[in-house]
Amino acid sequence: MASETPLCLPFIDFSNQNLKPGELEWDLTRAHVLKALQNYGCFETSFDKIPIELRKSMFGSIEELFDLPLQTKQRNISEKPLHGYIGQSPVVPLYESMGIDDADVAAKVDAFTEKQWPQGNKSFSTTIQSFSQKVSTLDITVRRMIMESFGLMKYIDEHLHSTSYLLRVMKYEGPETEEAKLGLKVHTDLNLLTILHQNNVEGLEVLTKDKNWIKVKPSQDSFIVMIGDSFHALLNGRLDPPYHRVMMTGTKPRYSLALLSVPKAGYLLSSPDELVDEEHPRLYKPYDLVEYLNFFYRDLTQSSLSVLNTYYGM
Ligand SMILES: O=C(O)CCC(=O)C(=O)O
Ligand SMILES: [Fe+2]
């Protein structure tokens, strides 16, 4: 029987729009965002606030970063799991990644850059900060729309101020086979919202609710917006984060960028009382994302949602 699932993600255009809360265009786009997130947990978007030149320099900068000697890259350590350098893993040998905390804040990016290039690399740090700051405006728009969709207007300011941005940059080597090889294991993201951008090598796959894999076609103009476990928890289960993975074929390396909005360390994320009723009993106790990350990191055979349930389920 033919599957009715379309082979692509829903597309919502955020370009050429002067979206302002309260205006008709905002409300229409918000309705599309809600529907896409209810059905897929993610959507594809084009977003014209990032000039093509900046997108190109971003991939140039990331290539330069991964071309550094391994020892230099390993200087990027973090006390928070999954924030520092990851690579050389026997489970995902094609995968390497690095995290840049507070990637929208110039001084923080300068400090990261100095560790990698003690002699300095101003163009790297300007590119990273400028890209992250511009993508963060899309994150803010989408998070505002989600909060409004669930009647959480009075919590929007607190919500937006309780987070910071982590930029994760990834490189996947081409496996030099026609047969697809695992680039990154199937997972959901633990943070609130993730915005992904990639070079022209495909690999990202998203699992639909009826268990079909959508192979995301790379496009230099598009971004993927995806919710993570923490939005699911904040909304008391009203939206589900999508399972996704990376599968690689061929010889070309794949570079991808993920801007993650994350609750700040020490902030206790909990679902507002408005989303709790008889039909929707409270699912989770308040939690601190760094503690949740630590529980998840202790046993990577468990899915993050089952870790969330084990440690914070009611
Ligand atoms: O490389 C990608 O497109 C996806 C990366 C990803 O899923 C992640 O870092 O959580
Ligand atoms: Fe992910």
The atom of ligand 1 lying closest to the CA of 170 is 1
Of 273, 291, 283, 163, whose CA–CA distance to 232 is shortest?
A: 283
- Which of 94, 188, 194, when mutated, tests ligand 1's pocket best, judged by the most ligand atoms within 8 Å of its CB? 194
Instruction: Please report, for residues 72, 88, 116, 245, 284, the alpha-carbon distance to residue 95 in angstroms, rounded to integers and kept in the order given.
Output: 17, 7, 19, 12, 32
Of 191, 189, 187, 185, whose CA–CA distance to 172 is shortest?
A: 185
Question: In order along the chain (314 residues), what is the average pLDDT of each group of 10 residues?
Answer: 68 86 93 98 93 96 97 90 90 96 97 95 98 97 98 97 97 97 97 97 96 93 96 98 98 98 95 97 97 92 95 96
Is the minimum distance from the CB of 170 to ligand 1 under 6 angstroms? yes
- Which of 184, 205, 247, when mutated, tests ligand 1's pocket best, judged by the most ligand atoms within 8 Å of its CB? 184
Cα(46) to ligand 2 centroid in Å equals 19
Is the minimum distance from the CB of 190 to ligand 1 under 6 angstroms? no
Strands 163-172 and 42-46: unpaired
What ligand has the least distance to the C-alpha of 167?
1
24-312, CATH topology level: Jelly Rolls (2.60.120)
CA atoms within 13 A of residue 51's CA, in its CB half-sphere: 5
What ligand has the least distance to the C-alpha of 204?
1
Domains of the chain, residue spans: 24-312
Q: What is the pTM of this model?
A: 0.96
The atom of ligand 1 lying closest to the CA of 196 is 3
- This complex has an ipTM of 0.99
